[in-house]
Chain A
Amino acid sequence: GAVVSQHPSWVICKSGTSVKIECRSLDFQATTMFWYRQFPKQSLMLMATSNEGSKATYEQGVEKDKFLINHASLTLSTLTVTSAHPEDSSFYICSARPLVAPRGNTIYFGEGSWLTVV
């Protein structure tokens, strides 16, 4: 079964509103989680690194004020897309690295969350 869960699996929101996506590690703790975005027929693009208890690290070109990341516990990171626009419609995927070895040498991906902004 899934060890990293994302919620919601899909969401439709109106342009200008904000939407939150959760990423949970179900049976391990993770100080580090990663958020990716994937447009149709394209590859996964890393958006940011979510660090438990500290600020997220954003990749170049990703607006930190638009994509708010909160990693308040060792099992939960959230991505909030603020003032969403149709161009933000995408497949958002998180991954998590277990804190403890040997599983710490593996990355687990969530099943992704489809966001459609209308």
Chain B
Amino acid sequence: GESVGLHLPTLSVQEGDNSIINCAYSNSASDYFIWYKQESGKGPQFIIDIRSNMDKRQGQRVTVLLNKTVKHLSLQIAATQPGDSAVYFCAENKDSSYKLIFGSGTRLLVRP
């Protein structure tokens, strides 16, 4: 079936470096994508979103890139901090219903 998947289950980065988390999606009709951060025992926390009519969107220290040609989504975190350590999920909205389909998640570990 259709799914949203991630290339790397765990990413370890040095504090201060930039982090890049990748996500592949399979439904070319998806029109809305969201990145979430989830800390242990907590609900997902919205980071940034992007609609299919855009290929890049920037927030505070975060940038999301969307490549519709290869169905690829990435989250870039600049100057990664210890507080960024968490599991990151991409989510895909297939039919504008906001029934989000979540990827498998990437754990980001920030080394001091």
Contacts and interface: CB of A to CB of B under 8 A. Distances in A.
Judge: A and B partners, yes or no: yes
B89 A107 contact: no
A91 B43 CA distance: 9
A43 B97 CA distance: 20
A5 B45 CA distance: 13
B43 A111 contact: yes
Contacts of A42: 104-105
A44 B89 contact: yes
Given A43-B103, A46-B101, A111 B42 contact: yes
Interface string B78-92: 000000000001000
A34 B43 contact: no
- Provide the main secondary structure of the chain B interface: loop
- Provide the main secondary structure of the chain A interface: strand
Nearest to B1: A60
Interface residues of A, number: 22
B104 A43 contact: yes
Interface in B1-57: 34, 36, 41-46
Centre residue among A42, A107, A114 by max chain B CB count within 10 A:
A107
A27 B100 CA distance: 22
A20 B104 CA distance: 27
A109 interface: yes
Contacts of B41: 91, 112, 114
Contact of A34 (B36, B45, B98, B105): B98
A83 to B, nearest CB: 26
Contact of A43 (B43, B46, B99, B105): B105
Centre residue among A43, A44, A46, A49 by max chain B CB count within 10 A:
A43
Contact of B100 (A46, A110, A111, A114): A46
Contact of A49 (B42, B43, B89, B99): B99
B105 A109 contact: no
B34 A44 contact: no
Interface of B: 34, 36, 41-46, 89, 97-105
Given A106-B46, A109-B44, 8 more contacts: A44-B102, A49-B97, A97-B98, A107-B34, A107-B100, A108-B46, A109-B43, A109-B46
